[in-house]
Amino acid sequence: MRSVVERLRPDLLELCQEELRLDPFEHVADGTHMAQPAIYCASLAGWSLLGDTSVDMMAGHSLGEFAALVAAGAMSERDGLRLVALRGKLMHRATGGGMMAVGASVDHATELAERFGLTLANDNSPEQVVLSGDAEAVDAACNRAKVEGVRAARLRVSGAFHSPAMGTAAPELQAALDKIDLDETRVPVYSGVTAAPFDDARARLVEGLTSPVRWRETVLAMHDRGATRFLEVGPGRVLTGLVRKTLDGVEAEVVSEEPARA
């Protein structure tokens, strides 16, 4: 990720040094408190590749909502970085618990979650749902799913993200959001909390700490509003795959410096 940011948006690395007093890319493996600022910068660097390309609407998955709001003009890059760094620190502090990916429908995964006292964390696609909660319960649910012939895997994360366990992070993030200026977005930006355009960005970003990411529903809502081509600008290509699994007959691709391979 760092090489892309250094090449496309070296000013973001300078901004990190000013605000964080370090380069988060050198500490990504230390935890989500370092990974989140790094991913934020990489997302904005990817966004710069679009140049003058016009977009009709935007969305971000979890952390990606901050970069999407910045790209849409709702807040400054500096404010976005400060919020993301704080969010990462608060979530890192609320350690404990775990998460698991389930290769099943949201209804099936919800039933599994209820059996083991887990929380629905991400509704990613018709074929992928993420559950969050107590670490032992996650392990038990993962084992049970496999016995039942359902694909399941424990995720390598340090906490039960998008669950009530993150509630301790809410007051401080809310206080930080209350101190920044938020403008109207240039285009609609969809919230993963509501699967609809942001109405109250401060409230929705705070709710996003403990609420599930309704990505599948967000993609469907954007499609209903006329979206037929989806461009992913963040690091990786996970969201592109999720869009393709959710919708038939649409274009979904990763914005890259390299030409796409056939």
CATH number for the domain including 17?
3.40.366.10
Kindly report the pTM of this predicted structure: 0.95
- Are residues 35 and 13 located together in one domain of the fold? yes
- Are residues 15 and 73 located together in one domain of the fold? yes
pLDDT at 158: 86
Provide φ and ψ at 36, rounded to 5°. Answer: -65, -45
- Are residues 149 and 168 located together in one domain of the fold? no
Average pLDDT over residues 9-31: 96
- Residue 74 included in any domain: yes
Counting Cα atoms < 13 Å in the Cβ hemisphere of 134 gives 10
- Residue 205 included in any domain: yes
Average pLDDT over residues 151-159: 94
- Are residues 171 and 56 located together in one domain of the fold? yes
- Are residues 7 and 44 located together in one domain of the fold? yes
Residue 130: pLDDT over 70? yes
- Residue 228 included in any domain: no
User: Among 60, 57, 154, which residue's Cα sits nearest to residue 98?
Assistant: 154
- Are residues 135 and 14 located together in one domain of the fold? no
- Are residues 84 and 102 located together in one domain of the fold? no
Q: Which residues are catalytic?
A: 62, 162
- Are residues 103 and 202 located together in one domain of the fold? no
CATH number for the domain including 125?
3.30.70.250
Cβ 87 vs Cβ 96: under 8 Å: no
pLDDT band of 262, cuts 50, 70, 90: very low
Give CA angle at 202 (197, 204), nearest 5°: 50
pLDDT at 234: 86
Q: Per-residue pLDDT tens for 80-113? A: 999 999 999 999 999 889 999 999 999 999 999 9
Decide: helix, strand or coil at residue 209: coil
Lowest-pLDDT range, 10-14, 182-186, 201-205, 253-257? 253-257
User: DSSP labels for 192-204?
Assistant: TTTTEE-SSHHHH
pLDDT band of 261, cuts 50, 70, 90: very low
pLDDT at 257: 67
Q: Into how many domains does the chain fold?
A: 2
pLDDT at 260: 40
Q: Per-residue pLDDT tens for 27-67? A: 999 999 999 999 999 999 999 999 878 999 999 999 999 99
- Are residues 13 and 75 located together in one domain of the fold? yes
Average pLDDT over residues 174-181: 97
- Are residues 56 and 186 located together in one domain of the fold? yes
Q: Per-residue pLDDT tens for 194-230? A: 999 999 999 999 999 999 999 999 999 999 999 999 9
- Are residues 16 and 90 located together in one domain of the fold? yes
Q: Which two tokens stand for residue 33?
A: 């408190």
Give CA angle at 200 (196, 203), nearest 5°: 105
Cβ 173 vs Cβ 206: under 8 Å: yes
111: Cβ contacts below 8 Å, ≥ 6 apart: none
**Domain encompassing residue 104:** 98-154
